Chains A and B, each alone.
Chain A
Amino acid sequence: MNGVHDMGGMDGFGKVEAELNEPTFHEEWESRVLAMVRAMGAAGAFNIDTSRFYRETIPPHVYLSSSYYKKWFLGLEEMLIEKGYLTREEVAAGHAMQPGKALKHGKFDLTQVERIMVRGKFGRPAPAPAKFNIGDRVRAKNIHPATHTRLPRYVRGHVGVVELNHGCHVFPDTAAMEHGEHPQWLYTVVFDGRDLWGEDGDPALKVSIDAFEPYLDPA
């Protein structure tokens, strides 16, 4: 979706302000939100792409004015309601009012913690040979799906060069919508800064994205 989350190339957000000796969390509730998202994801309530999509659908003015973990919280709460893991009545009451829905991987308890300290696996067997080779020129498609995609706006329509092939991976565009993993070849595609940003762009800049094969046409 062409949401406000797709920030690459936007102007007006000001300087990058780094905080010296930044703590891991600024408030205790942030740590609880992080842990709940990780736990419920690991328990099978949602996949990572679905959770990203719910954060992207937060209204733009709320997205821009909310802290990072506030966005995580808003996305998590809405997603769990819509997926049937809790109800709006329960949220309003602050307590469970009916039994829980079965989780694909069961309750998230202490025995589960160790396994989530390593990222999940997203590589999948290839359903078909790769269409592109290293060094091929490719054009990022001019697509504007209203649902989740990982093709940022700032490269759409632009020509780049395939630099790396990462194998076949879960396709976020379908996984986010719970329409299946549909594994796709994943490539690092490099663009010239001036192709993206015009003549005023930095001549020494190259920008790459990791692009799934359905995002690309031969060029």
Chain B
Amino acid sequence: MSEHHHDHDHDHSELSETELRVRALETILTEKGYVEPAALDAIIQAYETKIGPHNGARVVAKAWTDPAFKQALLEDGSKAIGTLGHVSRVGDHLVVVENTPARHNMVVCTLCSCYPWEMLGLPPVWYKAAPYRSRAVKDPRGVLADFDVSLPKDMEIRVWDSTAETRFLVLPMRPAGTEGWSEEQLAELVTRDSMIGTGFPRTPGAPS
């Protein structure tokens, strides 16, 4: 079998049953000619290094500074992001939903783990786990409290359950005190959670 990626310094006796089973499966898929291990490495490397919330943050910062782009983004997220050559490429049916003083948006996938990978990278464990998936649609304020986030009682909370091949990205409100900031500066304020709807952007001057 290929020696690929198996040459690190784990003692085999320390490998868990799961690790052994995963290795065995990869060995079989490689020996049967289905996959090239180097191609698997390349996939992993892309998710570890290239694709992450910085992609979404640039889109949000652009929307905060360019009203025409913002309008296009809300009309057709995929199309608008496609015009920004410098941001990660994005698939069809990305829907961008805007937070306003009257409405807060939050995204969940109650059935599995659908998430805008191209904008935010792979989802965090909590997004894929039972507590969030079960409660987000029934008690979103309770979920937000787990993130130390609270909203005015009469503010509408809109929860988007990603049950199809559409993907949702929250456009958070631009923090006060950022007048005249550049897109690059603004992007630094945009957190992953603010684009899921379980947090807010950083405020100017707060520790990151």
Contacts and interface: CB of A to CB of B under 8 A. Distances in A.
Interface in B4-39: 5, 8, 18-29, 31-36, 38-39
A36 B26 contact: yes
B65 interface: no
Given A7-B130, A24-B47, A86-B32, A39 B157 contact: no
Nearest to B48: A24
Given A94-B24, A166-B164, A207 B117 contact: no
A186 B164 contact: yes
A154 B94 CA distance: 24
A121 interface: yes
Interface residues of A, number: 91
Contacts of B48: 24-25, 31
Interface in A52-75: 52, 55, 64, 68, 70, 73
Given A35-B43, A118-B118, A123-B93, A169 B111 contact: no
A52 B109 CA distance: 13
A27 interface: yes
B145 to A, nearest CB: 9
Nearest to B164: A210
Given A9-B137, A17-B131, A119 B165 contact: yes
Given A16-B147, A64-B130, A118-B90, A91 B40 contact: no
Contact of B137 (A29, A33, A94, A207): A207
Contact of B33 (A73, A100, A117, A154): A100
B32 A122 contact: no
A14 interface: yes
B137 A107 contact: no
B51 interface: yes
Contact of A91 (B25, B39, B117): B25
Contacts, number: 270
Of B125, B137, B158, chain A has the most CB atoms within 10 Å of the CB of B137
A3 to B, nearest CB: 9
Contacts of A32: 5, 22-23, 26, 40, 44
Interface stretch (B56-64, B148-156, B178-186): B148-156
Contact of A18 (B8, B108, B124, B153): B124
A38 B42 CA distance: 12
Given A13-B135, A14-B131, A208 B121 contact: no
Contact of A112 (B23, B39, B157): B39
Contacts of B135: 11, 13, 16
7 contacts: A16-B143, A24-B121, A35-B43, A36-B29, A108-B36, A152-B161, A196-B137
Interface of A: 5-11, 13-19, 22, 24-29, 31-36, 38-40, 43, 45, 48, 52, 55, 64, 68, 70, 73, 76-77, 80, 85-86, 90-91, 94-96, 99-100, 103, 107-110, 112-113, 116-123, 150-152, 154, 164, 166, 169-170, 172, 186, 188, 190, 196-197, 201-202, 204-212
